């Protein structure tokens, strides 16, 4: 016990004396945490829209004004042909084209069948998807209010589209991205810092001096894990604080459940870091391996693209991705108030991963060389 406490104390002394590591550990990730959510903005404003109006009626003009009034669109004005529209879109001047046919107004009033064509630039699929939704909303809003004012029983008035976004009522992107970044932070501390730490002892040669002492492998690894586990938990709690103070996101579920899940996840990441560093010879190798895994974890985690949209092989690979399980837990507990029964599968999987990876780390760490 005294041995492990001493190892922990030594590790803390080293962390706090290493002025760079200290900054990397706390200041850099927190700064990122505060800045990044503002840049990863899924809300799209200032979409450039152009109109091809063959009707030239009051209605079409009013619809055009509605688009601008919605605040999401900037009007490029009227253009005369499909050809012109195409070239504008090619030059990225406009994102959307709305085309009104002849007799649009008359047909609306006489309740005849008519169409509006909406063309979207889908180079950025997120932008196109969200923008098309905005276009529809503006059109339906206008047409139903128009029908009302005419006192006409329009077919459209029978249809009302109401979107209710559960667990994220304002469809606020920050509610999704901020917890996601919290996950990334915990992962960075867990895997990156620990992977580099053990390799550094190899490079310095201090590992030899440790190996000739009678301490056991598990004591050594535990002595290395506890400090980084504490740092990781500390960072997570600070992150939750910022999440509340800066972004106003409150934890819907249990705070303690969240800490419990994080502590298990940290053991997975710490074990992974040590496994990588015990099979690497220098910090560069360890860094490349962690970097590679980190990118794969993040991309597959469902933070930026939904897992359901990935090809099936990627979804299978995701069963090995601890980050996607943890991302699930974090979102479920913070946004959906899930309890321990709702996330027990994820918790069990993470526990299993923690056991496997730490056993591997322990076995791969060699005191004796052949």
Partner 1 sequence: MKAIEIENLNKIYNNRVQALSDVSFYVSEGEVFGLVGPDGGGKSTIFNILATLLLPTSGQASVLSRDVVNDAKIIRQLIGYLPGVFSLYPDLTVEENLIFFATMYKSRIKDNLPLIRPIWKQLVPFKDRRAGKLSGGMKQKLALCCALIHKPALLLLDEPTTGVDPVSRAEFWDILTNIQKQGITVLVSTPYMDEATRCDRIALIQEGKIIKIDTPTNIMEAYRGFLYTIKVENVFSVMEKLKEFDFPCNYYPYGQELHIAFYEAPEIVLQKFCSFLREQNIKFEELSPIQPTIEDCFIELVKLK
Contact footprint for partner 1 (CB under 8 A): 2-3, 6, 10, 13-14, 17-18, 204-215, 367-370
Buried b (16+ CB within 10 A) or exposed e, 126-140: ebbebbeebbeebbe
CA 259 to chain centroid: 20
Minimum distance from CB of 260 to partner 1 (Å)?
Answer: 32
Task: Report the DSSP pairing between strands 117-120 and 73-79.
Answer: unpaired
Q: Tell me if 42 sits within 8 A of 126, measured CB to CB.
A: yes
Minimum distance from CB of 170 to partner 1 (Å)?
Answer: 49
CA distances from 168 to 89, 171, 335, 336, 339 (A): 33, 5, 7, 9, 18
Minimum distance from CB of 14 to partner 1 (Å)?
Answer: 5
**Where is 62: in which H helix or E strand?**
helix 58-69
Q: Of 83 and 370, which CB lies nearer to partner 1 in the complex structure? A: 370
Contacts of 214 (CB under 8 A, 6+ apart): none
Minimum distance from CB of 358 to partner 1 (Å)?
Answer: 22
Q: Of 12 and 42, which CB lies nearer to partner 1 in the complex structure? A: 12
Neighbouring C-alpha atoms within 13 Å toward the C-beta of 188: 17
Count of residues in the chain:
370
What angle do helix axes 173-187 and 283-300 make, rounded to 10 degrees?
150
Minimum distance from CB of 232 to partner 1 (Å)?
Answer: 21
Q: Of 24 and 233, which CB lies nearer to partner 1 in the complex structure? A: 24
Q: Of 8 and 357, which CB lies nearer to partner 1 in the complex structure? A: 8
Q: Of 200 and 331, which CB lies nearer to partner 1 in the complex structure? A: 200
Minimum distance from CB of 214 to partner 1 (Å)?
Answer: 4
CA distances from 37 to 134, 186, 220 (A): 23, 16, 38
Q: How far apart are CA 361 and CA 347, in angstroms?
A: 21
Q: Of 14 and 172, which CB lies nearer to partner 1 in the complex structure? A: 14
């Amino acid at each position: 016990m005294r041995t492990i406490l001493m190892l922990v104390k030594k590790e803390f002394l080293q962390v706090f004396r290493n002025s760079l590591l200290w900054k990397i550990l706390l200041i850099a990730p927190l700064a990122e945490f505060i800045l990044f959510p503002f840049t990863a903005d899924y809300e799209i404003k200032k979409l450039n829209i152009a109109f091809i109006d063959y009707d030239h009626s009051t209605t079409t003009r009013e619809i055009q004004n509605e688009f601008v009034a919605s605040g999401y669109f900037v009007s490029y004005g009227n253009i005369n042909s499909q050809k012109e529209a195409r070239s504008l879109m090619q030059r990225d001047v406009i994102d959307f084209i709305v085309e009104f046919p002849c007799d649009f107004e008359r047909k609306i009033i006489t309740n005849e069948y008519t169409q509006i064509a909406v063309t979207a630039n889908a180079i950025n699929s997120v932008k196109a998807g969200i923008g098309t939704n905005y276009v529809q909303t503006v059109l339906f809003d206008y047409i139903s209010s128009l029908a009302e004012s005419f006192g006409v029983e329009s077919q459209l008035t029978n249809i009302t589209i109401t979107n209710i976004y559960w667990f994220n009522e304002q469809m606020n992107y920050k509610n999704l991205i901020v917890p996601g970044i919290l996950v990334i932070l915990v992962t960075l501390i867990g895997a990156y810092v620990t992977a580099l730490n053990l390799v550094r002892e190899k490079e310095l040669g201090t590992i030899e001096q440790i190996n000739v002492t009678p301490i056991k492998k598990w004591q050594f690894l535990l002595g290395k894990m506890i400090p980084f586990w504490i740092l990781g938990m500390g960072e997570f709690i600070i992150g939750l604080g910022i999440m509340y103070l800066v972004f106003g996101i409150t934890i819907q579920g249990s705070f303690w459940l969240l800490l419990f899940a994080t502590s298990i996840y940290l053991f997975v990441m710490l074990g992974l870091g040590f496994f990588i560093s015990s099979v690497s010879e220098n910090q560069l190798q360890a860094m490349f391996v962690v970097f590679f895994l980190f990118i794969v974890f993040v991309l597959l985690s469902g933070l930026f693209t939904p897992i359901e949209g990935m090809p099936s092989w990627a979804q299978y690979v995701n069963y090995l991705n601890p980050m996607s399980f943890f991302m699930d837990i974090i979102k479920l507990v913070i946004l959906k108030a899930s309890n321990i029964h709702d996330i027990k599968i994820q918790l069990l999987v993470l526990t299993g991963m923690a056991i496997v990876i730490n056993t591997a780390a322990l076995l791969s760490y060699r005191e004796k060389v052949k």
